[in-house]
Amino acid sequence: MLIARLIADAAQNEISLEARVNAVSEALSEAGLPLASAQMLDHSSDVLQLELPGDDAATLRTVIDAHFGACDGLISNGPIVVPRLFVSDMDSTMIGQECIDELADYAGLKEKIAEITERAMQGELDFESALLERVGLLAGLDESAIGKCLTDRIVATPGAQVLVETLKAHRCRTVLVTGGFHHFADRVAEEIGFERVVGNRLAVADGKLTGDLAGPIVDSATKVEVLQDERDKLGADAVTMAAGDGANDIPMLDAATYGVAYRAKPKARAASNGWIDHGDLTSLLKLLEIPQRDWVYG
């Protein structure tokens, strides 16, 4: 049985919700996937749940994209439950910025470094090579620029803290894993509420960035390993959720029970069974059927 939950803003579409559901039902029937039921969930007035037999999630996703456009959604091969583990990317997911791009602005290199970042996140460049190139360009920058950047530039994504704190209140382990840097991620994790942080470390000598990293590189393989190791501690069958936006998040998103692409690059969105295109991160709480009265605010 396939289950899809959708948050569709009727104000953003001239076609009524009923008409869109009818169009989806017709398209699925033509594809040999008859819709078994379509109903609004009791806990929220804007979450639509579709149920249909089979396991052809790809066709279901194609039909949903065609008729609902920019919405928030989650597709599962079974009942949707609150996960026991949540692992998330940081840059452009839990925060609205790419830390290395903002830090580069203090060295007068934002445009150059941001171009490399974008290509890496689109999957056009090897992540490790792109990371080392960008870090190398920051050689000589005062370490104090990191603190200024954190204070002046780095802002949590709307809904991030409520999402993390609510998941923790429902006995979900939360981990922030990033190809970015502990200099940023440690403070971000503390402010949002993550219980563990995994990231890269910028090498510093005499108060300046050396242009190197200290320790092993955190990349897409590391993200998957963190998710799998944390899951195994909870039990191999533990339900997991991961969130990210770029190409280096794809293996992690694919490995999770629910892989959620947040305002993501096309390749990451296509690889996910969950997506947030319209709302903020609290959309995930709605999709998990956690009523707003149970949300935890900082």
Q: Considering 89, 101, 249, 277, which one is annotated as catalytic?
A: 89
186 is catalytic: no
Q: In 3D, which of 6, 14, 79 has the Cα closest to residue 39?
A: 6
Q: Is residue 250 within 8 Å of 271, Cβ to Cβ?
A: yes
Angle at 265 between CA 70 and CA 269, to 5 degrees: 60
Q: Considering 42, 55, 91, 245, which one is annotated as catalytic?
A: 91
CB atoms within 10 A of CB 29: 12
91 is catalytic: yes
User: Whole-angstrom Cα distance, residue 174 to residue 167?
Assistant: 8
User: Whole-angstrom Cα distance, residue 181 to residue 204?
Assistant: 12
User: Coil, strand, or helix at residue 157?
Assistant: coil
Residue whose structure tokens are 């990293």: 213
Q: Which two tokens stand for residue 49?
A: 């749940």
Contacts of 220 (CB under 8 A, 6+ apart): 127, 247, 248, 249, 250, 251, 252
* CA distances in angstroms from 11 to 8, 63, 103, listed in the order given: 9, 20, 38
Q: Is residue 220 within 8 Å of 251, Cβ to Cβ?
A: yes
DSSP conformation class of 176 = E
Instruction: Label residues 60-96 b or e (16+ Cβ within 10 Å = b).
Output: bbebbbebbeebbbbbbeeebebbbbbbbbbbbbbbe
Q: Is residue 6 within 8 Å of 71, Cβ to Cβ?
A: yes
Q: Looking at the annotation, which residues are catalytic?
A: 89, 91
